[in-house]
Structure formats: C-alpha cells, structure tokens
Chain A
Amino acid sequence: MLSYIIRRIFYMIVVLLVLSVVSFFIIQLPPGDFLTAFIENMRAQGTVVSEEQILSLKKYYGLDQPMYLQYLKWLGNLLQGDLGQSFQWNQPVTELIKERLALTVTISLISLVLTYLIAIPIGIYSATHQYSLGDYAFTVFGFMGLATPNFLLALVLMFVLYKYAGWSVGGLFSPEYVVAPWSLAKVVDLLKHLPIPLVVIGTAGTAWTIRVMRGCLLDELKKQYVITARSKGLNERSLLIKYPIRIAINPVISTIGGLLPTIISGATLTSIVISLPTIGPLLLRALRAQDMFLAGSMLMLLSALGIIGNLISDMLLVAIDPRIRFENQE
C-alpha cells in the first residue's frame, strides 16, 4: 500500500515536470515574445520605453539566453515559489494569483462536493425507481445538463435574474467587500454570491454523475446476489446500502480524477462570463496580452490541480475497493 502511494507520488512528480515543459512550450508558441508585444503596446499607447529599460527587462528575464536555459530558470524559480513577474500588471505573479487561486480551489471543491451530494442520491433513486416519473424527470435533466454548455447556462441564468428579479449577477463580492481584507462579514458576503456560480459550474458534472451512478447501480441490481439477498428477506434499504451501492459507487469515485479537471474547465469559462475573481478571467487576459509568466504559471497550476485530483481519486479507490488494494499488495 505504502509502496503504491510512493510510486504514484513519484509518477505524479514526473507528470508535473512534463507539464511544466508543455506549459512553457505553449506560452512560447505565439509569434514574437511577450516583450516585443509589451513594448509595442506601450509605444502604441504613447509611452516612451527606453533602450535601457528593454535591456534590463531582457536581462531580468534571461531573454538573451537560449530557450532551455530560460526554461530551467523558470522552473528553478517555480520550485522556490517564485512564479516570475507579470508584465501587464507589473507585479509578482504570486501576488496576483494567490487569492484567485485560493478562490478557484474553493469553488471547485465546493462544486465537487455538492455534485456528489446531489448526484449520488438522485442516481440511486433513479436506478431503484427506473422508468418512474421521477426517473424520467432526472433523465431529461441529465441530458439537458450535459447538452447545455456552462457559459450558456450562466448567460441564461443572468438574463432571467436580471429581467425578472432585477438582480445584476456578477462577481463574488459586493462592491464594498472587493478590496476589503478578509473578515467574517466578507465570508458571509461571499456565501451570498456563491449559489449562482455553483449552480452553473456544478450542473454538467451533476448530470454526468447521475447518469453514471444510475447506470452502474442498474447493472448491479440485476445481479443474482441482490435477488438472493432479497429472497432471504433482507429489508430493501439495508440491502441496497450494504451491497450494490458499495460496488456501484466505485466508478463514480474513480471519476473524481476526470470530474475535477472538468469542473476546473467549467469554472474557468463560467468565471469569464460572470466575472468571478478566479483564475479564469485573468488567464484569458494574460493569454491575450502574451503575459507569458502569468499565463504559463496559471496553466501549470490549473493542470496541477487536475493531476493532484487524479492522485486523490486513485487513493480513495484503493481505500474503498479491497480488490484494488489486494492487487497492489502483490
């Protein structure tokens, strides 16, 4: 068990290294480097950029060095927690994204937990009441939820709320709390703003999980051990909880690895539409402005979240499923 975990962690580190290369490569893709774009931008706006400034900037970022050295330098700083300097904002990247990253993680995790809390019971209900009115209703919801892209749901919700309730939805905080330091009042304010983003981000995942849970449980319910248990007079509720659900829930747990990246993706787009102070809108701006270190770091961190999620789901599976546990012991 321990050796398995160590192996997985080692493997994760390798993946993260590969990821850093990929991130670095991707942000180098646009023609010209960010400095040229930056200087052009400044000049277009009428700001005078002196030669010394350019040189010192080049030197600071090691742009006069070959590509692999630039990468190594970036990686070295990354490992020390220094994500470089954002051009557009003229601030350390770490400063810029610290709070946004925390909010992204919080929102993603709450969405994930809510998704499971809502989807698993509904999936069980749908499977045990197959072809009932409720099952049909949830099936329709499932299909609609999967077919409606996040940002459209956000748009429609915003439109309905604006038109019929007069609410202007957007952001995570009321204006007076945006720059205020963290306090109890600010947390309460955050909680008030959370429901709509959570609904938008969570719908697709919930729809998907309901389908998976329903399908798996239906497969299990047909099996003979369930019939045996039932014929022996076991009451339906404890029968369900004790046997088929425990088996049917495995695929659902193993989807955490896939669900977390999906939720992060959804959260990125949703945040852009309802302008949440998370990574999403900042990433879009950074990409447009070729703000390389900022974009690269965010791409790297978002992806790392997904990879860590994968590891956690594998660990959970090992903990829940004895078959996997024993297989790994050999």
Chain B
Amino acid sequence: MTSEVPVPAAVETAADEAYFTASSWTLMRRNLVKHRLAILGGSVLALLYLTGVIAPGFFSTHDFGQRNNDYILSPVQRIRVLHEGRPHRPFVYGLATSRDPETFRRIYVVDKEAVFPIRLLVRGGDYKLLGIFPANIHLLGVEDPGVMFLFGTDELGRDLYSRTLHGARISLTIGLVGVAISFILGCLLGGISGYFGGAADMLIQRVIEFFGSIPTLPLWMALAAAVPTAWPPIRIYFMITVILSIVGWTGLARVVRGKILQLREEDYVLSAKISNTGEMRIIGKHLLPGFMSYLIVHLTLAVPSMILGETALSFIGIGLRPPAVSWGVLLQQAQNIRTVALSPWLLIPALFVVLTVLCFNFLGDGLRDAADPYK
C-alpha cells in the first residue's frame, strides 16, 4: 500500500524554507545567538582574552614587574568624576603617605589637592606588543608625578591591575593548551575504544574509570611537586598543562566513545566499510564530524576546571612560581588572612578567576543547548 503523504512544501513559507535548507552549523549559530547568557559570557571572555592575552602591555597602566618602593601595598585608587562637588573629567587623586605612630605601618591618605586627569593613549613603560613589536603607548595613564593603581599594589609596590592583566596570559591560555592536549588524547583513545571495541575498549574504559575514581587534586599535587623548581618558567608551564590534561582527557574520551558507539551503526559507515575505506579515515572523516558540536561543548566546559587547577596549584605554591605571573601566583600573596584583612584588594585576581569560570560555564551551557539543532 502506498498512500501519499501530503506534501509539506505546499504550505511552506519563505522562513520555513530558510530553516529547512540551513546547514546544521547555521542552525546552531542561530540557537546560540538567542541564548543571552551565552552571548554575554562569550563577549566577556573575548574582552578578557583581548586585554590579557593579546595586548596586556597596551591595556596595563604600569610595567607589571616595576617595583614602586614609595607605594607598597597601596590601596585601590578610585576613578573619580567629581572634584570639589563639581563634575570633572575622569581623574584620580594623588596619594600622600604617612606612618602609623604606633605600628609604623604605612598609611595612605587621599590627597584631594592633587588632581591627575586620566589621559588616553599616553606614553609610558616599554613593552612588546604580541611579544614582538616594541611599543610604549598605554590606553590609560596619568602624567608624572601622578600614579594610578586601579587595583592597588602588592607587597613589592607592583601595580596589581597590570599584573592581573599579565597574569591572564598564563591563566587563560593554560586552559586552552591543556584542553588541546586532552582533545587529542580523548579523541584518539575514545575513538579507538568506541570504534574497535573488544580488548582495547575494555582496557581504555578501565583506565578512564581509574582516573575517574581517584581524587584529582592529590594526584595533581603529587605530579606538580615532582616538577623540578629549577626549570625555566616556560617548561614548568608546559609540564603543568600536561599534568592537568592527564585527568582532563578521560571525560572527553567518554563522550567520544558514547557517540561513536551510536554512530558506527549508521548506514553511511557501513557503506564506507564496504567501499574499503581505511579504519582511521572512517573515524576521522565520517564519525568525528558527526559529533563535533558535542566535542566543542565538552571542551568549553573542560576549560574552567583546568583554569581552576592551575590557580589552585600555583596558590599552594607547587604550580607556577614567581617571577612567572598567573592569577594563582598573584593569589599566593593573599594566603595570610591578616594580610588580606589589611589589604583586601589582593583578592581582586580571584574575582577574575570566578568571572572567567562563570563565563565559560555560561558559554558552554548555551553551546550545549545549541548543539542539537534538530531537537
């Protein structure tokens, strides 16, 4: 019996037409754009990567390593727009220092006489744009002898705002590099596990379960403690990413395996097999693209745990160490609660950690909703 199904095209509007002919990536993009939090998260992340990873020198107000002995643990200088009750272009007041007569602790007093207007594109300390081009133009700055410490300064009088921006370079890239390593491992091992099954699957599954059941942090600590302290920072950085990926790949491998198990039963895989296509080519060419969107979601959600891992390890002193600058390294100074109580601005890098993780989670959530456009 062959009953005719009514042709839907007859009642289609132009909008439907556009929907039916759109590629799955187009549909995903549309879904994502509708997800406001994801767009917000993505935008904030773009801003963080721009200011912190691409051009921290340009956006910072000071040289991040420069010690200002006159301004040790200086508090946050507020940007003001009112001078003597009247509107004024954005400026900061100068800082006058004195000593506490009893504790001899340095006290900073806002000097309401000294007004330093904030200027755009000022010349200041030298830096290298993208690590290559020498430059000395900074987005914001004040004229000498004024100083502008937007996040205060640390125990050596270094500008925390500039250090936070520079710290982003390590903190924000370590997650990406770590995820890239996990991605390769996860796809490879998860792919083998799901596609071939049998003994390889059994073995890889056990390894994944093994990593899943041991607490991550003690393992990371033990591995990080084994990294020789005498190594140059770049090598330590690389080792830490490898350590973070050792656990990171397992989640990804699980996703890849599950999806492959589902996809390998599809007709097009069978036809590829019949046409004598190589195993690796089937995995890479026919299976991987089938769940690329899920991989991207998983990767987005995997970045924050890497960032948190680096921060935690550096914070307790077995990850990156000064003179390397990362958010975890900056937070090392905030370990002592009495220091924090006197200089709460030392916790500002923590806000950036939380903000970054939050944004990655929002973006990942939006991507997850968008990943399956045919739902």
Measured CB to CB, the residues of A under 8 A from B are: 15, 18-19, 23, 26-27, 29-31, 143-144, 146-152, 155-156, 158-159, 162-163, 168-170, 257-258, 261-262, 264-266, 268-269, 272-273, 283-284, 287-288, 295, 298-299, 302-303, 305-307, 309-310
Contact B316 A269 (CB under 8 A): yes
Most buried by B among A149, A158, A287: A149
Assess whether B139 is interfacial by the CB under 8 Å rule: no
Taking the closest CB of chain A, its distance from the CB of B259, in whole angstroms, is 19
Assess whether B216 is interfacial by the CB under 8 Å rule: yes
Mask of B334-359 contacts with A, CB within 8 angstroms, 1/0: 11011011001001001001100110
Task: Evaluate whether A168 and B337 lie within 8 angstroms (CB atoms) in the complex, with A30-B226, A287-B225, A303-B219 already known.
Answer: yes
Q: How far does the alpha carbon of A274 sit from the alpha carbon of B292 in the complex, in Å?
A: 42
For this complex, 13 residue pairs linking A to B, each with C-beta atoms less than 8 Å apart, are A15-B206, A18-B210, A143-B361, A146-B361, A147-B357, A148-B357, A162-B338, A257-B212, A262-B215, A269-B217, A287-B225, A303-B213, A303-B214
Assess whether B304 is interfacial by the CB under 8 Å rule: yes
Give the residues in chain B near A258, CB-CB below 8 Å.
212
- B222's partner among A15, A26, A261, A273 (CB-CB below 8 A) is A26
Q: How far does the alpha carbon of A309 sit from the alpha carbon of B353 in the complex, in Å?
A: 30
Number of B residues, CB within 8 Å of A: 40
Contact B347 A155 (CB under 8 A): yes
Give the residues in chain A near B170, CB-CB below 8 Å.
none
Contact B334 A155 (CB under 8 A): yes
Mask of B203-215 contacts with A, CB within 8 angstroms, 1/0: 0001001101111
Give the residues in chain B near A262, CB-CB below 8 Å.
215-216
Taking the closest CB of chain B, its distance from the CB of A101, in whole angstroms, is 13
- A148's partner among B209, B222, B315, B354 (CB-CB below 8 A) is B354
Contact A268 B218 (CB under 8 A): yes
Give the residues in chain B near A257, CB-CB below 8 Å.
212-213
Taking the closest CB of chain A, its distance from the CB of B356, in whole angstroms, is 8
Assess whether B245 is interfacial by the CB under 8 Å rule: no
Measured CB to CB, the residues of B under 8 A from A are: 206, 209-210, 212-219, 221-223, 225-226, 228, 304, 308, 311-312, 315-316, 318, 331, 334-335, 337-338, 340-341, 344, 347, 350, 353-354, 357-358, 361-362
- B340's partner among A18, A29, A159 (CB-CB below 8 A) is A159
Give the residues in chain B near A146, CB-CB below 8 Å.
357, 361
- B218's partner among A155, A156, A303 (CB-CB below 8 A) is A303
Give the residues in chain A near B225, CB-CB below 8 Å.
30, 287-288, 295
Identify whether the interface residues of B are mostly helix, strand, loop, or mixed. Answer: helix
Taking the closest CB of chain A, its distance from the CB of B7, in whole angstroms, is 30
- For A142, give the chain B residue with the smallest CB separation: B361
Q: How far does the alpha carbon of A305 sit from the alpha carbon of B219 in the complex, in Å?
A: 13
Most buried by A among B209, B216, B221: B221
Contact B217 A265 (CB under 8 A): yes
Contact B358 A287 (CB under 8 A): no
Contact A268 B221 (CB under 8 A): yes
- For B217, give the chain A residue with the smallest CB separation: A265
Contact A147 B344 (CB under 8 A): no
- A287's partner among B213, B214, B318 (CB-CB below 8 A) is B318
Contact B312 A158 (CB under 8 A): no
Contact B215 A303 (CB under 8 A): yes
Contact B213 A283 (CB under 8 A): no
Taking the closest CB of chain B, its distance from the CB of A93, in whole angstroms, is 15
Give the residues in chain B near A261, CB-CB below 8 Å.
212-216
Contact A299 B222 (CB under 8 A): yes
Taking the closest CB of chain B, its distance from the CB of A246, in whole angstroms, is 25
Contact B318 A152 (CB under 8 A): no
Task: Evaluate whether A147 and B358 lie within 8 angstroms (CB atoms) in the complex, with A257-B213, A309-B213 already known.
Answer: yes
Give the residues in chain A near B226, CB-CB below 8 Å.
26, 29-30
Contact A264 B361 (CB under 8 A): no
Task: Evaluate whether A306 and B228 lie within 8 angstroms (CB atoms) in the complex, with A27-B222, A155-B347 already known.
Answer: no
- For A257, give the chain B residue with the smallest CB separation: B213
Most buried by A among B218, B334, B337, B357: B218
Contact B221 A302 (CB under 8 A): no
Q: How far does the alpha carbon of A15 sit from the alpha carbon of B357 in the complex, in Å?
A: 33
Taking the closest CB of chain A, its distance from the CB of B61, in whole angstroms, is 25
Q: How far does the alpha carbon of A273 sit from the alpha carbon of B311 in the complex, in Å?
A: 13
- B214's partner among A147, A149, A155, A307 (CB-CB below 8 A) is A307
Q: How far does the alpha carbon of A132 sit from the alpha carbon of B337 in the complex, in Å?
A: 39
Give the residues in chain B near A152, CB-CB below 8 Å.
331, 347, 350, 353-354
